[in-house]
Each structure stands twice: as C-alpha cells, then as structure tokens.
Amino acid sequence: MIRVLQIVTYMGRGGLETMLMNYYRHIDHSKVQFDFLVHRDFEASYDKEIQMMGGRIYHVSRLVPWSRSYRSELKEFFRGHSEYKIIHVHQDCLSSVALQCAKECGIPVRIAHSHNSNQTRDVKYLFKKYYMKQIPKFATELFACGKEAGDWMFGGNAYEILRNAVDISKYEYSKIVAKDIRNKMGMDDNIVIGHVGNFSLAKNHTFLIEIFQEVVKIEPKARLFLVGEGPRMQLIQKMVRRIGLEDKVLFLGKRADVNQLLQAMDVFVFPSLYEGLPVSMIEAQAAGLPCIISDHVSEECIVTKNLVTIMKLSDASCNWAKHIVERSKEQRNNHLEEIQAAGYDVVTAAKELETFYLKKYGEC
C-alpha cells in the first residue's frame, strides 16, 4: 500500500475538498491511502471521516510564499516523512511553493492541480500570477478539472484532465424523496431556488440576491436555499435583511446532505464571476435539476442535454428571474446515464486515479 500526500488549505466542505473526498472514498485503501497536509490549526468538516478511513492529517503554518520560515517548515516536514514519493498539491496559484520545496527535498512525483480558470483581481493578484507561472518548473505532473482551468494555470504546458466526479448513485432524482424532504422543510407549494457554494466574491451572491428579489415579484412564494459558508456570508445576510427577504432566503450553512437538498429544489442558479469546473454543477445535473448559469462559468460543466441554460452576467436581473421561474416549473427526470457517459461517475474515475498513482510510484 502506498501513501499519497494531498496538500490543501484545509478539508472543509468546499468544491475541491469535496472532489478529493469523492475520490478518497472510492479508491482501494489496501492499495492507495491518502494523507493530508493542511494549513489551518482547527478541525475541519472532513477531518473525522479522513481519520476513520485511515488517513493522517498533518498541520503546518499558513502559507506565506515569501516566508523563509514557512519554506523551512515545509522542507523539514518533507525530509522527516520520506515515505511520501507522491505529493498532490491543491493550493491554486501558490502551489509552486510546496512543489519547489518538495523538489529540493527529492520527492520524485509532484502533481499540481488547477481547480480554477481565473483569480479575483485584488491586491494579491499580481504576486499570485507570478507564483503561478513557476508551477510548471517544479511540477512533474499537471492536472486540471477542465480545459479552461488547465489552459489558464499552466500556460501552454501539457496537462491531464481529472474530472470533478461524484457518486452519481446518491443524486438520482426521486419524486417520493423530493416530496418527503420538501414536506419536512415546509416547502410543499413553494418554488425552491438553490445555490451551493462558499460565500466568496467569485460566487456572486450579491447578484443572486438581486435576481431573487425579482423572482419574488413574479412568484411571492418562492424560496432561496443558500448552502455553504464563507467570508462574505454576513454581508449577504445583511443585504437580505435590508431588502426585507429574510423570511424567504434560507442560509443552510455547510451541509453533509447536499444530495438530499438538491432533491427539494426546483431550479439551480449559478451566477459566478469565474469557475473552474464546479462540482456542484455536476451534482445538480446528476439530480436532474434545471440549471441556469452565467456566461463566466466554463461550458465544460454542461454534461447533460437540455438541463442547463446560459445567461449573460450583463443581462438584467429581471430577465434572469423570468427564466428561473419558467424553468422551475419543468418536470424533473433522471440524467445519470449522461453523467456516467461523460466520465463523471467517481467509481470509474477513482479507479483511473488509483492506477495512475500506482504506476507513478512504480517508476520512482
């Protein structure tokens, strides 16, 4: 059995973390075991499950790319854990720091993984771009969730696609299950609009609330489910209270039952400013949900027929609202065969990743 070190910020219920856990649950642990190097000192959502499956969790300081002490700490860790011949880094633009330290410590297989197709243009943007350009120098393998994410991060270098696969069996739509969950949540005759994602600038929750405000003008009984947490959640909560929608917008927090909540929704709305290839979009399609996404979300996430509508972010919120109400009234169907045919069934995808790790380990 080999051990692969996954390097992340922390194992909360974000998109890349959920993708990692989907693979981890379905890889044969008698052949490949995942361990995690995290950069936060608190217990995250997936930590207990990781440990129950035999994974180890190591903590290091927060990533500061120019910090000599951080780099020294990382190198000390690598030298003290010579069992790791493969590291798989999920630190976005700053992945080059861990990759460089690992190279200097003689780790033979160093994987960089792109999960995004852009970056917020804040004060950190330029130095993130600098470190991003260093990634191909220090990585031996390049992975991306999709073509846009790979093209953006790896600057013309060859890379492999590792799909954001899901356990499709958990998402199969059932009228009986949907009715039961809606009854329990008091949503018998409401139109339920859903969104799953961290409260970050990229997810564009502000515009989502503006859209929902217009939806309520058409359908007063409409409700909005917001699943997730994040740095902008309080800002969005204040916005909701300010415009008087607090009885119609449900902040559901981090959830382990997203597959169940998707059953209760009528339409999924995703107005992101940028994305790689969001796991939540694959999940929503697996659940047979009509989806409305922005033209800034990679079209690679569309893996079903007639389920996804693309809207321009420049379109007025009232136009989005009209489409949402129309699509919310559609009859739900199962699309699992399409999801599987597109390669997003994690049972198959995990076997392929397992084979890749074993092959690379054998070449060390």
239: CATH: 3.40.50.2000
What is d(CA 85, CA 92) in angstroms, rounded to the nearest whole number? 21
Do 174 and 283 lie in a common domain? yes
Where are the strands (E) in 290-356, listed by range?
291-294, 308-311
What pLDDT sits at residue 125?
74
Residue that has been written with the tokens 């959640």 in this structure: 233
The angle at the Cα of 333, spanning 192 to 328, to the nearest 5 degrees, equals 25
Do 121 and 206 lie in a common domain? no
Do 13 and 153 lie in a common domain? yes
Do 199 and 225 lie in a common domain? yes
Do 273 and 292 lie in a common domain? yes
Domain count along the chain: 2
Residue among 40, 34, 36 at smallest CA distance from 53: 34
Q: Is 178 helix (H, G, I), strand (E, B) or coil?
A: helix
Residue that has been written with the tokens 């969950």 in this structure: 181
What pLDDT sits at residue 261?
96
Length of the chain, please? 364
Do 118 and 231 lie in a common domain? no
58 — phi, psi (to 5°)? -110, 145
Do 336 and 281 lie in a common domain? yes
Do 142 and 102 lie in a common domain? yes
Q: Does residue 171 come out as left (phi exceeding 0), alpha (psi in the -120 to 50 range) or beta?
A: alpha
Do 60 and 160 lie in a common domain? yes
Do 322 and 233 lie in a common domain? yes
What is d(CA 165, CA 91) in angstroms, rounded to the nearest whole number? 19
Do 140 and 172 lie in a common domain? no
Residue among 289, 253, 245, 251 at smallest CA distance from 269: 289
What is d(CA 198, CA 253) in angstroms, rounded to the nearest whole number? 9
Rounded to two decimals, the pTM is 0.89
Segments of the chain scoring below 50 in pLDDT = none
Do 213 and 318 lie in a common domain? yes
- Could you tell me the residue range of the domain that residue 209 belongs to? 168-341
